[in-house]
Amino acid sequence: MSSAPPTTTLITVAPTGAESSKADVPALPVTLDELVSTARDAEAIGAAVIHVHIRDDQARPTLHPGQLADTVTALRENTSLIIQLSTGGAVTDPEENRLRVLEAAPDAASCSMGTVNFGRDVFLNRWDFIVELHNRMRDAQVVPEYEIFDLGQLTTLQRLLDKHGLPYGEHVHVDLVMGVPGGMPGTAHALVAAVGVLPPGATFAATGVGRTSIPVMLAALSAGGHLRVGMEDTLTYAPGEPVRDNAQLVARAAGMAKIAQRPPMSIADARALLGVRPLLAAA
Nearest residue by C-beta to ligand KMH? 88
Residue 249 near residue 32 (C-beta atoms within 8 A): no
118 binds, among ligand KMH, Zn ion, none (CB under 5 to 8 A by kind): ligand KMH
Distance CA 31, CA 52 (A): 12
Whose Cβ is closer to ligand KMH: residue 110's or residue 246's? Answer: 110
One of 9, 20, 110, 156 touching ligand KMH (CB under 6 A): 110
What's the min distance (Å) between Cβ of 240 and ligand KMH? 26
What's the min distance (Å) between Cβ of 167 and ligand KMH? 15
Region from 58-66, 79-87, 153-161, 265-273 binding Zn ion, contact rule CB under 5 A: 79-87
What's the min distance (Å) between Cβ of 14 and ligand KMH? 8
Region from 73-81, 83-91, 128-136, 208-216 binding ligand KMH, contact rule CB under 6 A: 83-91
Q: What does the per-residue mask of binding to Zn ion show for 86-105, with x meaning CB under 5 A?
A: x-------------------
By CB under 6 A, the count of residues binding ligand KMH is 12
Q: Does 71 bind ligand KMH (CB under 6 A)?
A: no
Distance CA 60, CA 90 (A): 10
What's the min distance (Å) between Cβ of 134 and ligand KMH? 13
Whose Cβ is closer to Zn ion: residue 38's or residue 86's? Answer: 86
Provide the b/e sequence for 247-266 (b: ≥16 CB within 10 Å). bbbbbbbbebbeebebbbbe
Residue 181 near residue 149 (C-beta atoms within 8 A): no
What's the min distance (Å) between Cβ of 118 and ligand KMH? 6
For the segment 114-143, give every residue that binds ligand KMH (CB under 6 A).
118, 123
Q: Does 146 bind ligand KMH (CB under 6 A)?
A: no
Q: Does 18 bind ligand KMH (CB under 6 A)?
A: yes
List residues near Zn ion by CB under 5 A: 86
Interface ranges with ligand KMH (CB under 6 A): 17-18, 86-88, 90-91, 110, 112, 118, 123, 147
